[in-house]
Amino acid sequence: MKGVVLAGGLGSRLLPLTKVTNKHLLPVYDKPMIYYPIQTLVNAGITEVMLVTGGNSAGDFLKLLGNGRDFGLKHLSYTYQQGEGGIADALRLAEHFADEGPICVVLGDNLIQGNIAKAAEAFRAQKKGAKILLKEVKDPQRFGVPYLEGNRVLSIEEKPAHPKSSYAVTGIYFYDARVFEITRTLKPSGRGELEITDVNNAYIASGELTWNVLDGWWTDAGTIESLLAANQLVAQTGANRMEF
């Protein structure tokens, strides 16, 4: 299984912090934000990673991360997303890198207290389809929200005004090679973007999506408030812990 970190976007919700840099290069406690999702993949036993980025600061990732050896990676590849096409559009750029194998996708502003090693092993055993990781949150309307019935996800709704559960779909996804076929069928949403929620709903429709609840805390860092929370959480407990 290979890893993909999606680190594009303009970071407009973090202005003026992102006026001269990509948000994923901002510090979270004692490391640049982008270190955390890469470490999430490494802790899951993944040694080949592609970073998808864009904007004027793309070259800074190469200066910061180099060939990925500091993380113990065999290969760190880079690709560039033109414009603001959404998460699923960015994911399409990793098709040749995936080489028809399974992938784990992590959004570049997602941080976790623990690790996804068990979920990664479960997906390797699953062999096909998709797996998402859920976390109970106070403000699910900010995220993709699953409609659950027992062990089944019936649907996922993006940023609903009236959420059907208190869970958020975290920005950590496991997919088989069919994900790229699915992305080619997507139509832009009202935001003009290709939505990752539509990808997940396609797997739900074919009965091939499983889920786990993520242990420990999880946060994104895409707003001023959540960036502050991420700094505080990492300072208090650390992040990407193999045992906690």
In this structure, the strands spanning 144-149 and 218-220 are unpaired
Quick check: is 215 in a domain?
yes
Tell me the CA distances in angstroms from 242 to 28, 78, 117, 190, one per residue in order: 19, 27, 8, 40
Quick check: is 160 in a domain?
yes
pLDDT in tens, 188-228: 888 888 899 999 999 999 999 999 999 999 999 999 999 99
Cα 82 to chain centroid distance, Å, stands at 19
Cα 109 to chain centroid distance, Å, stands at 8
pLDDT in tens, 2-27: 999 999 888 899 999 999 999 999 99
Quick check: is 243 in a domain?
no
Which of 78-87, 155-164, 192-201, 222-231 comes out lowest in average pLDDT?
A: 78-87
**201: containing domain:** 2-236
pLDDT in tens, 135-156: 999 999 989 999 999 889 999 9
Quick check: is 244 in a domain?
no
Instruction: For the chain, give the mean pLDDT.
Output: 95
pLDDT number for residue 238: 97
Quick check: is 35 in a domain?
yes
> Residue 118 is encoded by which pair of tokens?
């068990």
Quick check: is 242 in a domain?
no
Quick check: is 12 in a domain?
yes
pLDDT number for residue 217: 97
CATH number at residue 210: 3.90.550.10
User: Count of CB atoms within 10 A of residue 124's CB?
Assistant: 13
Number of domains forming the structure of the chain:
1
Quick check: is 106 in a domain?
yes
